[in-house]
């Protein structure tokens, strides 16, 4: 199953896609201003172009597992996206993915977009949970 992961931010939304086997995550170009009509349309086109069968949006929980303002904005964005795509949209805990992405970029010297690297880490975490049969 091909899964599209989104590391949502109102200015930039990092994107990553899985391979068909659901084991590899590849960063894609970030989408600018994702919550706008234009941004949502771009994401809907990306879902179609990549043949994504599911969209996973990173939910920014606090270290204690609670939800703050950013989580509320992410939920609003995901609801708007649900109205634009024909595939399931779900959430996955994104705690620490931004730090992992920053570390990965520094260590590899990668010029890849940090938001999309964060989306790839989110996707890897989601896929690991799915393969392990756990809940995300």
- The boundaries of the domain holding residue 43 are 3-132
CATH of the domain at 52: 3.30.420.140
Total tally of structural domains belonging to the chain: 1
The model's pLDDT over 11-41, given as tens digits with 9 standing for 90+, comes to: 999 999 999 999 899 999 999 999 999 999 9
pTM over 0.85: yes
Phi, psi of 114 (to 5 degrees): -60, -35
- The angle formed by the CA atoms of residues 95, 98 and 102, to the nearest 5 degrees, is 145
Query: Can you say whether the dihedral through the CA atoms of 123, 11, 102, 117 is positive or negative?
Result: positive
């Amino acid at each position: 199953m091909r899964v599209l992961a989104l590391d949502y931010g109102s200015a930039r939304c990092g994107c990553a896609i899985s391979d068909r086997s659901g084991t590899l995550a590849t960063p894609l170009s970030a989408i600018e201003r994702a919550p706008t009509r234009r941004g949502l349309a771009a994401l809907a086109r990306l879902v179609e172009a990549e043949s994504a069968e599911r969209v996973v949006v990173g939910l920014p929980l606090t270290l204690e597992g609670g939800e703050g303002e950013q989580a509320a904005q992410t939920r609003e964005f995901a609801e708007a996206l649900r109205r634009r795509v024909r595939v399931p949209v779900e959430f996955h805990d994104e705690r620490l993915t931004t730090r992992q992405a920053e570390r990965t970029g520094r260590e590899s010297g990668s010029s890849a977009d940090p938001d999309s690297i964060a989306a790839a880490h989110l996707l890897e975490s989601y896929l690991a949970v799915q393969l392990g049969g756990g809940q995300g």
